[in-house]
Amino acid sequence: MTVGRVVGNVVSTVKHPLYNGQKILLVQPVDPVHGKPGGNTVVAVDTVGVGIGELVLVATEGRAASEILKVPRGPVRSIIVGIVDEIETET
């Protein structure tokens, strides 16, 4: 699982039926300790109703996405599973 910031929407008129009715977003991974962007932007299915600019939890294992969407072997690798309200670290 990773922390990321939603940076955009993906609009697709022709897609796999699994994506019908699903909101698809671009998420930029973020270092949870320092808050700096890092890594490659991912395309993720939104299951919690987030918007651009929000900090989110992203499951990046295909099996987790398939279980959450209740579709075995679905063509989903990344899925937004939570909204981050705060990150607290020990200094």
Q: What is the pLDDT of residues 35-46, one digit of tens each?
A: 899 899 999 999
Residue 89 lies in a domain: no
Mean pLDDT score of the chain:
87
Residue 33 lies in a domain: yes
Partners of 29 in beta bridges: 4
Residue 91 lies in a domain: no
Residue 30 lies in a domain: yes
CATH number where 51 lies: 2.40.50.220
The series of mean pLDDT values per 10 residues for the chain, 91 residues long, is 96 79 93 89 94 95 70 78 91 64
Q: Where are the alpha helices (DSSP H) in 1-91?
A: 62-69
Task: Evaluate whether 69 touches 79 at the Cβ level (below 8 Å).
Answer: yes
Structural domain tally of the chain? 1
pTM for the full model? 0.84
Question: Where in the sequence is the domain holding 46, given as residue range(s)?
Answer: 2-83
